[in-house]
Structure 1
Amino acid sequence: MPNITDTKNLPIYNCHAHIFTGKHVPPWLGKKIIPWPFPYLISLPLVLPLIKLLSHHRKYHIPRILDKIARDLPFAFNQLWLHHPVTYFIARMISTIITCIALLLLISYLNYKVTDIEWLTICINYPRQYIPFLLQILIVPFGLLVIPSGRKLLLLLLQFLRKIPGPATWELFQRYHTLGRFALHASQRGIFEKLISYYPEGTRFLILPMDMTYMAAGGVSKSYYSQLLELRILKRTHPKRDQLLPFVFADPRRLAEQPAYYDIIHGLFDNCGFTGIKIYPALGYYPFDKHLLKLFLWASQNSIPIVTHAIRGIIFYRGLKQQTWNYHPVFKDSQGQPLKLYSFQNVDFINNFTHPLNYICLFEEPYLRQVLTYYSLLQPLDAFTVELLSLFGYTNSQTPLKHDLSQLKMCFGHFGGENEWNRYLTNDKSYFDNLFASNSAQTYPFMPDYVSKNIQQLWQSTSWFSIIRNCIMKYDNVYADISFTLHELNIITLLKECLTIPKLQDRILFGTDFYVVSHKKADKEIWIDSKSDFTPMELDRLARLNPQTFLY
């Protein structure tokens, strides 16, 4: 392991970046977030070209035209109307009338029942009946979007009708906009070249692909294999290929459908310069899926790093919930019964797959044995399961395994996310969150008896930050990156405290989640801010020394 004093000889690493294009993303990301039929009406193939046009079209300079209109129209209005009391009063009256008519038209279009009073209902529907339709089309956006008082009134109305989109909806719209901006690049090459321009010469990037084929949000325009092929070509031919450290995505459903994919993955490491494996349980599976276990055993035996998605987000499984997902397949409650998982909507129940406590089923041999016992009892027992049990040296539920995953090299992407960091900071009722306050080196055991006794609190009340931190302190090869996390001052403060704790300080990796995070903060800004937020020694740990030990 390199010494902290000679890290200047090591390259900088960004340990969490993406360069997939909009064509690698399924069209109906709005499913399970916005009401039917809007996910299909504003599908990705329809929205991305529009965003691309508005953002980048050089021929028409649409942003410049819109900006000019937005500046010049109020200026002209101000010049003509607002410098004399009489004209000011007339302008206010006209704008108020237009806004009221626009509001009544909108309520009428929504068919929202505001009142049971007949005469009031007639008044609400009056403009729609007697104003020509083409004029209605002009009045509504002008009255509720152009006129400032109309915009405020619209927000109040949406709040009253409870139509304000939730955080997931806003995140979806921001993700659409981000994908639209980068859709200008027809290939991953252009996005990669954009990325490397933000960092010092020689910076290396862990490039994490995404296989969204199985998330039940529609078919992708370009297959996952075409995404992999582009990465292979980039790694072989790009002038700065040494800065590109591609990972391969492992979805257990692809491994189940296409057993040859195991050989493809092995070949990418042996012949194509790939560096690690990416998994994304929020797409609809547990990290201890049996088809991943075979791959993980190979990765553990060959010291291959794995990055897993460990944050609540909007990229998740959009299909129907399976009945078996109402109970955890391994964890038991204090009564010895399967742990009930009280979540019903996709945006909620997928967090049962992402939950960091699931990973003790990999790191702890007694739990891994329970996982294998679970698969051994499923009937009929297929040939793959028989092979899997043999690979781990499984005998029965009481006999320790001959091979386990205690040395698996795993990085929790996003370190749980900033919401879970804030939850840790503000949650003064959780015993496990409070353990670290009195003793920063304190850990809690993850053995079955202890976990079962405290499972409700660990699963529901303890922050993901706390659980991931405990995993890092307990296990030899567990890391976490800080991508999509560094947006608030209190998060920086907590991170700097983590960098003073032995062992924990050696397992945290710098990453940005490029380009997904760009709607919150551009990569260039993140890097510049990081140089001022952290001391040179702290930044060297995050971006040079720790990534080196994780990768090699």
Structure 2
Amino acid sequence: MGIISRYVNILRFAQYKHQKDIFSKLINQYPPGTQMIVLPMDMKFMDAGEPKKPFEQQMSELYELKKRRSQQIHPFLFVDPRRESAGNKAFFNYTIEGSKVVLDNDCFIKEYMEDKAFAGFKIYPALGYYPFDEALLPLWKYAADNGIPIMTHCIRGVIYYRGPKKKEWDEHPVFEQNMNSQDDKSKKYKPLHLEQIEANDVQEIFTHPLNYACLLKPSLLVKLVAKAKDDRIRQLFGYDPETNTLKTGLEHLKICFGHFGGEEEWEKYFEKDRDNYTSQIIRKPFQGIEFQSYQGKARKGKLEQIWHSVDWYSIICSLMLQHENVYADISYILHGDAKILPLLHFSLENEVLKKRILYGSDFYVVRNHKSDKNMMADMRARLTELEFDQIARINPVSYLQRSIPGHADINDSTLNI
């Protein structure tokens, strides 16, 4: 009966018709002065039927909530590369000035990011796309150059693309696998085969954190830029076909891995006591896993091994250690505090990681486990005051800081993600 009653609580929250009513139930569980990041969704393209409210209506209501709760809320704008318009506006139109992306005036994203001062972008690749989709590359350049934070879903969950697997999803667009061909070197490597078939499993293809190396690592990003269908992509990143290099990349992209890969991946980290890659988090606490080389030399088949065998906690931590604008939050997974606290304490002992971990709740999806006030009380009781301040106040302020015109600075009062 306990499990049933907890799920009934989720349904009760889902019955509220307006975002303001849901937000009031959330904010009242936290101390005065608390600020929240609010993350919307766009489920139109997940092949599960039409949403009850159009995307633009959802965003409009969120903006109205922002105006009423301006001292409490930092809304993000959801982005799906398959969306071409929202209402009577194009979703994402831009021009290139030098190596910069400039949003067009009639662009929906410009309206919400610059005119209405939304705080960041939210993506959910499990709905059926890669985070490095070509349509997203110029947007990520815009975000990186303006310090705009991105929040990405990174856990195996219950929301994912519901249609059949597409043929083009059988192979990874960037990573390769070793075919062990000794006779013909041209056939030694081919695109990494992705064997998942069922929708529940296919989500892993898009959610896998190693995909973000394709954005953050110039040697992988150049593969995407070189084969882009839109010539403007090559212009934007300064692609040189003779040297196969880029003048500018996305190493400075500010991105947060929501749910830190999931509690199951944290448990895998502890279990993999014979794994060489996982041990690098301990052996090389300021670098983690070398993704493409071994002892300074390029190793072509390494990414295939990491994709198949390394836990997501180790991959995410390595990206955080290697890129100063990469973060991860403990939303949803913090409900299982007994399981995550030992590794959370370990992570907070690392001088780099402790500055990149964010407190989070995932309200109200997590309500089948605990209420928000229950989770926060548990965290405050089991972390030191300095540790809690670091993940719930200091780090979120750093994550939300941006240089886009028209955005006020974020203050360091109580801030929860």
Q: Is the shorter-chain TM-score for this pair beyond 0.5, marking a shared fold? A: yes
| Residue equivalent to 2:415 | none
| Residue equivalent to 2:315 | 467
Tell me whether 1:344 sits opposite 2:197 in the alignment. Answer: yes
- Letter of the structure 2 residue corresponding to residue 242 of structure 1: Q
Q: For 2:290, which of 427, 434, 445 is the aligned residue?
A: 445
How far is the alpha carbon of 1:516 from its aligned partner? 0.8
Q: For 1:245, which of 74, 79, 87 is the aligned residue?
A: 74
SS of 2:300 mapped into structure 1: helix
| Structure 1: segments with no counterpart, 5+ residues | 1-66, 68-169, 376-380
Please list, as runs of the form range in 1=range in 2, the aligned pairs for 1:474-513 lying within 5 A after superposition: 474-486=322-334, 487-513=336-362
| Residue equivalent to 1:516 | 365
Aligned residues: 372
| Residue equivalent to 2:391 | 542
Q: For 2:40, which of 209, 212, 216 is the aligned residue?
A: 209
Contact 1:370-1:397 within 8 A present in 2 as well? no
Q: Could you say which structure has the higher helix fraction?
A: 1
Mapped partners of 1:270, 1:551: distance in 2? 15
Mapped partners of 1:186, 1:297: distance in 2? 36
SS of 1:253 mapped into structure 2: coil
Please list, as runs of the form range in 1=range in 2, the aligned pairs for 1:37-436 lying within 5 A after superposition: 177=8, 179-236=10-67, 238=68, 240-255=69-84, 260-262=90-92, 263-334=107-178, 335-375=188-228, 381=229, 385-396=230-241, 398-436=243-281
| Residue equivalent to 1:140 | none
Q: Deviations over 1:483-537 (max 9, x none)?
A: 0112142310110111111111100001011111111111010111111010000
**Judging changes above 3 Å, is the alpha-carbon distance between structure 1 residues 453 and 467 closer, same or farther for their aligned structure 2 residues?**
same
Q: Which runs of 4+ in 1 moved over 6 A?
A: 173-176, 256-259
Q: Could you say which structure has the higher strand fraction?
A: 2
**Judging changes above 3 Å, is the alpha-carbon distance between structure 1 residues 184 and 452 closer, same or farther for their aligned structure 2 residues?**
same
How far is the alpha carbon of 1:174 from its aligned partner? 9.5
How far is the alpha carbon of 1:453 from its aligned partner? 2.3
Q: Deviations over 1:192-249 (max 9, x none)?
A: 111110001111101000000000011111111111010111112x1x3211100000
| Residue equivalent to 2:103 | none
| Structure 2: segments with no counterpart, 5+ residues | 93-106, 179-187, 402-417
Mapped partners of 1:326, 1:341: distance in 2? 5
Mapped partners of 1:457, 1:447: distance in 2? 11
Contact 1:310-1:416 within 8 A present in 2 as well? yes
- Letter of the structure 2 residue corresponding to residue 444 of structure 1: I
SS of 1:252 mapped into structure 2: coil
Mapped partners of 2:5, 2:265: distance in 1? 21
Q: Deviations over 1:80-116 (max 9, x none)?
A: xxxxxxxxxxxxxxxxxxxxxxxxxxxxxxxxxxxxx
What's the RMSD between the two structures over aligned residues? Answer: 2.1
Contact 1:329-1:374 within 8 A present in 2 as well? no
Contact 2:74-2:118 within 8 A present in 1 as well? yes
Aligned-pair identity (%): 41
How far is the alpha carbon of 1:456 from its aligned partner? 3.3
How far is the alpha carbon of 1:403 from its aligned partner? 2.1
SS of 1:331 mapped into structure 2: strand
Mapped partners of 1:412, 1:273: distance in 2? 22
Mapped partners of 1:490, 1:319: distance in 2? 34
How far is the alpha carbon of 1:439 from its aligned partner? 4.6
**Judging changes above 3 Å, is the alpha-carbon distance between structure 1 residues 256 and 197 closer, same or farther for their aligned structure 2 residues?**
closer
Q: Deviations over 1:127-172 (max 9, x none)?
A: xxxxxxxxxxxxxxxxxxxxxxxxxxxxxxxxxxxxxxxxxxx9xx
How far is the alpha carbon of 1:176 from its aligned partner? 7.0
- TM-score (norm. length: structure 1): 0.64
How far is the alpha carbon of 1:450 from its aligned partner? 4.6
Contact 1:443-1:473 within 8 A present in 2 as well? yes
SS of 1:337 mapped into structure 2: strand
